[in-house]
Structure 1
Amino acid sequence: MSILLKYTFSFGTAMILIRFTYSLVKPLCTTVCKQSIFAYQKCNFHSLALKQTFYIKNKICFRTCLTTTSQETDKSNYTVKEQIITKMNFQSTEHAIAFYKLPIKTLLHLYNVTRNDEKHGYCKNRLYYVSSKLKCPPSLLSKYVAKRTFIYSLSFDWLEKSLNVLLEMGVSCDRIIRDLWVLKYKAETIQERLKRVKAMGIDNMYPWMVRCSEDILNRHVSISQETTHILGNNENIHTYLARRLNTTVEDVEEMCIKTPALKTIRAIKVKHFLDYLISEGITPEDIAKKPRILAASQKTVKKRVDKLRQLGFQAINLNILCRSKKHFKKFCDAFEISTKNSFD
């Protein structure tokens, strides 16, 4: 029994000592753990900050290197281009500006062709040859030639013959300048096509007539022939309108200022449109007061006239026909409602 009491007392004492030790150690362990965690987080934060700083510095350095390299490359390319262009017999810097946009490879080709032309006595530079043929200042022509470098790929004989045929057939210089692609065609092809067009009674020559399909050419010829039939040989669209609308040419010119679409309107459309409007009871004087109607779609106007006839209108008002789609519908709807209410 005494032994049992002895062991019980020892166990109790041990427990008290353990609890006392734990109460002392626990705060110390908690503090150490917190400080360890804080130190770890601080270490990670500094590590991340270092990584980000390194990344940003390297990124800036990389961009700087790229910009510097790009600038050096551009400067180098410009220098090479300048060396090539200065040997191409340009008479002034202004004439050569457009050629600086071309790749170095293309410039080398142009340089070789220029040297060959000069060697055989053809010309100093094809820009000046074409300029002299088309009576166009090199400063204006250079931007067109720089975009159509195939001119330097044609044989000089081909270029010379094609230009001569176009001018002999009456194609104006400004039209050739705006459509230099026509020079890709053989002189024989150009001559054959334009002669055929002239034989059909057309004197107004365009470069596209050489390049277009047969269907487009035939359609243009048909329209031109019908236009000649309408206007005759001594009348233009302005005098025709003045005659049909019982007014003066000066009044027609004023109409064209107020309605610019009339400047480019075709005689065929004008004739058919006027015939239709007059057949619907609209007088030439009314049309002269509202010439904007002639610039409208004849199909749309016909639909509106038919709609007004269905609603019972005998006389057609041009002001109503010239309204917008929304306002025309609004007018018709309002008229239908008022008509219905009057019957009710």
Structure 2
Amino acid sequence: MALNIVNYLLKPVFTYPLSRLLVNEVKIHKLSCVTHSISICSSIRWNKTTQDKELHSDNNILHGKEQIISKLNFECMEHAQPFYKLPTKTLLHVYKVTKHDEKQRYCKNRLYYLSEKLKCPASVLSKHIAQRTFIYNLSFDWLERSLNVLLEMGVTSEGLMRDLWVLKYNSNTIQERLQKVKDMGVVNIHPWMVRCSEDILNRYIEIMQETKSILGETKSTQIYLANRLNTTIEAVNEMCLKTPALKTIRVTKVKHFLDFLISEGFTVEDVANKPRILAASQKTIKQRIDKLRQLGVEDINLNILCRSKKHFNKFCESIESISKE
């Protein structure tokens, strides 16, 4: 009895024939492979369909842009190329304005109008106009009057091309601003003078007037520097080669800095031998002079003052350590 129970417990759970089981497993595997293949094919087909739709959409957009741009009276593809980057909605607006300008006999396209007025090739101007499509938002009368005032007041074509935003300002505002600048004796007129705040403009005028007063008949910072240092213009040019910052230094800084150094006991010969001092900050140099004097240094030379912050601090530390001994 016990043996029968043991045999029963050891009996396989199911007695399905092994051969049939293997066959079914093979069938299941094949079915799985087929299903997987169908899934992959479906995925590929779906992706291809999506890509085809996107490509078709892109082609439609491009075709739509081509149709619009072809009606904007561009003389060649080079002039039109930058406009392909614009949204279709923007191009439609440009088209509408262009057709209105053409109907009113203003111009065939504002690109060519500005190109003629600024004496700038359309191939160069095209990318600037495409990036600043507000040009097509202005009424032609507004654009024409603002542009004419700017040119009459002496703004250069190069300056205008770099700062087309100034055309958004009313011609009366432009006239008043630039006339004020000219009345103050400023010769070089720039578009930013229309757009900047009153404080900035007044500060600029103040600097220009001071510059004019300092330069007098010399007309050049380099000539002024040569006169102040009792040297030749050739020597100053050589200084500028060694210290490029001197090429663009304002004459107002040169004057104030030289006056300060002389008041501190330095001679023009000292500065001529170490012109790099003029490229430094006057505030920093004053702080260094004060610190050295606090440390008891009496013989201060420009070489020490021109040192880097790290080396200057090391020099001061060495003086402090000596004084403690």
- Please tell me the TM-score bracket, short chain as reference: 0.7 to 0.9
Say yes or no: does 1:323 pair with 2:307.
Answer: yes
Q: After TM superposition, list the pairs within 5 Å mapping 1:1-344 onto structure 2.
A: 14-19=1-6, 21=7, 25-26=9-10, 28=12, 63-341=47-325
The amino acid of 2:212's aligned partner reads T
TM value normalised by structure 1: 0.82
State the distance in 2 between where 1:46 and 1:295 align: 83
TM value normalised by structure 2: 0.87
Q: Answer whether contact 2:178 2:194 (CA < 8 A) is retained.
A: yes
Residue 201 of structure 2 aligns to a residue whose secondary structure is helix
Q: Answer whether contact 2:185 2:209 (CA < 8 A) is retained.
A: yes
Deviation at 1:175, TM superposition (A): 0.8
State the distance in 1 between where 2:221 and 2:87 align: 48
Gap regions ≥5 residues in structure 1: 1-13, 33-41
Deviation at 1:283, TM superposition (A): 2.5
State the distance in 1 between where 2:140 and 2:53 align: 41
The amino acid of 2:146's aligned partner reads S
Deviation at 1:196, TM superposition (A): 1.5
Deviation at 1:63, TM superposition (A): 5.0
Distance 1:282 1:87, change over 3 A: same
- Greater radius of gyration (CA): 1
Gap regions ≥5 residues in structure 2: 17-25
State the distance in 2 between where 1:189 and 1:175 align: 18
Q: Answer whether contact 2:112 2:122 (CA < 8 A) is retained.
A: yes
Q: Answer whether contact 2:218 2:224 (CA < 8 A) is retained.
A: no
State the distance in 2 between where 1:65 and 1:165 align: 57
In percent, how many aligned pairs have the same letter?
60
Counterpart for residue 36 of structure 1: none
State the distance in 1 between where 2:48 and 2:311 align: 61
State the distance in 2 between where 1:218 and 1:159 align: 27
The amino acid of 1:15's aligned partner reads A
Report Cα offsets for 1:220-266 as digits up to 9, x if no partner.
11111111111124421111111112222222223323323222222
Counterpart for residue 21 of structure 2: none
Residue 154 of structure 1 aligns to a residue whose secondary structure is coil
The amino acid of 1:163's aligned partner reads L
The amino acid of 1:210's aligned partner reads V
**Matched length:** 320
